[in-house]
Amino acid sequence: MALQFEEQQFQEAWQELDEPRLEGGWEFFTETTGVKIYRLYQKQSGLYEYKVFGGLAGCTPELCADVYMDLDYRKEWDNYVKALYEKDYDGQKVIYWEVRYPFPMSNRDYIYVRDRQDLDINGRKIWVVLAKSISCSQCPEQSGVIRVNEYTQSLVLESDGDKGTKVYMYYFDNPGGMIPSWLINWAAKSGVPSFLTDMQKACRDYSKYCKKKQG
């Protein structure tokens, strides 16, 4: 089975923590609750790529990585998840994810692969998760749900030197359909900080969830 991500992609992702690469048209977009967001316009799609720099107080990076990877738990704390599960197709783990969109818009669904690496960089512990959409013939499109074919995300986590986590995230998502660009921009502006806030709370509640699951 072909590797989905190259070693270089993990290296490039974590290096953004030290030296954010913002040349080549990246512009400052917004800052809210300690989270800075930059964006880059994509002529081809008319949409933006985003880079997010921020922190999660009171959560260790390893805990954040575990929470982020736990799909079952995500269904508990992320209200936008309609369906989320991992399946094995031809020896490859593929994730199906359906996202609730507000009426009258159609829900979106994703088929993607991801990989996590826990790196040791000269004694620094850094957690990197990469994800990208793929096409999968065994996952046909559903009526009334729009398939997102362009989705890429990187998440990098490192201790902030205290009890919290430094976070870098890159993402591009083309939701398709007839969504006005102002709405997509609004979602990026408000959605990312609120996602990080939700994730922070999810980290705090994770041990309780794990105990309950073990019965």
Residue extents of the structural domains in the chain: 7-214
Task: Please return the burial class of 89, using the count of CB atoms within 10 Å of its CB with bins 0-12, 13-18 and 19+.
Answer: middle
CA distance 210 to 215: 9
Q: What is the pLDDT of residues 132-180, one digit of tens each?
A: 999 888 888 999 999 999 999 999 999 999 989 999 999 998 988 888 7
CA distance 40 to 28: 9
Q: How many helices (H) and strands (E) does the chain have?
A: 4, 10
CA distance 36 to 111: 28
Q: What is the pLDDT of residues 2-28, one digit of tens each?
A: 458 999 999 999 999 999 999 999 999
As a CATH number, domain 7-214 is 3.30.530.20
- 19 three-class SS: coil
With beta carbons less than 8 A apart as the criterion, state whether 53 and 36 touch: yes
